[in-house]
Amino acid sequence: MPLNSLIKRSLSLPLILLLLILAVGCSTIKTPLGDREDGTNWSSLYSGAERDGFISDRLNPPFEKLWSEKIRPFERFKIYPRQQLSVPVMAEGILYIGSTNHKIYAFDFVSGKKIWKYDAEAPIESTPTVGSGLVCFGASKGLLNCLDQKTGELLWSFKTGSEVISSPIITDNTVFFYSSSDRLFALDRRSGKEVWSYRRTTYEMVTPRSRTSPTLTADGERVLQVFSDGMLVCLNAFTGRVLWDVKTYKPNIASGPFRSTPAIYGDTVYVPGVDFKVQARLIEDGRVLRTYDTIKARYFALAGKKGILMASDSQVALQSEKTGKVIWKKPPMKGTSTIASISVSGDTVLVLANTVTKHLNLDYFTKRRGHIIAMSLADGRILWSKQLSSTLTGGVSSSGGRFALLTNKGYIEVWGR
């Protein structure tokens, strides 16, 4: 072999090996938009279409604030409530959140880098839902908007005539959502055109600003909705035909906030009942299987075979899903507090609570604080807690060992290790 050819060949082999090493190495490096394999999607209110408030991803306290972003709305002459009702959701490494500042955002969940924002020209108190390439959310001016998940471009809007503060469900073909006109809609996912809608024809009273959202069975065949008259209705998801309905509770304007969205586990749907007793009903026909009443449960979440988690104003309790036996019941913190939400990530319970401390009985000197508390799902032990300078209303969601929330002062905060 000629000497020149031998030299060229000997030089090219190391170069080829170097390029192969770099190619393999680069495939393990996180992209600027985070690790897409890290974490299960928390894609809607209470995690997903079954609304169980549970995710299998583990959280490992203690936590530190990984990043924060201010999206506080302009407050002067504000006619909407101070509370931020929208809860952050995560899908494929991206965090999506709406705000009363009229905008919805997409951030990289790991770095906090803003990817896009969309101006809805009205306060957003609906928790967005991500699925099938869409980000869908409601706005106070009576629109359900659906954006392109990657670009934030508006694909279509559907006008309802009343505000939408509930969280939609997205399937391959359909978008389901509830509006404040006390109507459940099914829209074509691609065009946004109405497929069917259902509205209660009689009701005792309309609860203002109802936050109830639809729930879908795992097979996608049935959609369940609690309406403003306390009626739980099970409908065929394809036709809107009523399969059964049953009264679960009597509405009361003075009752204060509570979870009215159903949750599904297996063949059972869990709903609020009379005097804040959670009812377990068979999805097939709506009959009561058992009632959980160890505390007045304003909020609840399902933890699969580990039980049903419930929260009153000041206590959290875990009961056996099958027998109703109380496994533990504890306050999440010392002193007087009001619980705002609960969720379960792996074997950790996340509780959001608020405290009010008055001085001289004057509102100016009153301190309102929010608190994040991590409790053990096994025995209720407090694992970690943090006081915030703002109260909390919406809720918390988690994915891949991190969790996110939106404070009432308009700060997105992401916590983790």
The per-residue pLDDT for 38 is 65
Q: Which tokens in the block code for residue 163?
A: 């505000």
The per-residue pLDDT for 128 is 98
Distance CA 248, CA 271 (A): 7
Summarize pLDDT for 74-86 with one digit per residue, the tens.
Answer: 555 554 457 899 9
Ranges of residues in the chain whose predicted pLDDT is under 70: 1-38, 73-81, 201-209, 359-365
- Into which CATH architecture does domain 86-210 fall? Beta Barrel (2.40)
Q: In the chain, where does the domain assigned CATH 2.130.10.10 lie? A: 59-82+309-417
C-beta atoms surrounding 64 within 10 Å: 8
Distance CA 139, CA 100 (A): 9
Task: Residue 131: name the closest of 195, 220, 41, 212 by CA.
Answer: 41
Summarize pLDDT for 306-365 with one digit per residue, the tens.
Answer: 999 999 999 999 999 988 899 999 999 988 889 999 999 999 999 999 998 876 666 666
CB contact set of 216 (below 8 Å; sequence gap of 6+)? 49, 50, 169, 171, 176, 222, 223, 224, 237, 264
Summarize pLDDT for 136-157 with one digit per residue, the tens.
Answer: 999 999 999 999 999 999 999 9
The per-residue pLDDT for 20 is 39
What's the CATH code, domain 59-82+309-417?
A: 2.130.10.10
Which long-range contacts does 337-341 make (Cβ < 8 Å, 24+ apart)? 337/371, 338/313, 338/314, 339/298, 339/299, 339/311, 339/312, 339/313, 339/314, 340/370, 340/391, 340/392, 340/393, 340/395, 341/299, 341/311, 341/392, 341/394, 341/395, 341/396
Q: In the chain, where does the domain assigned CATH 2.40.128.630 lie? A: 86-210
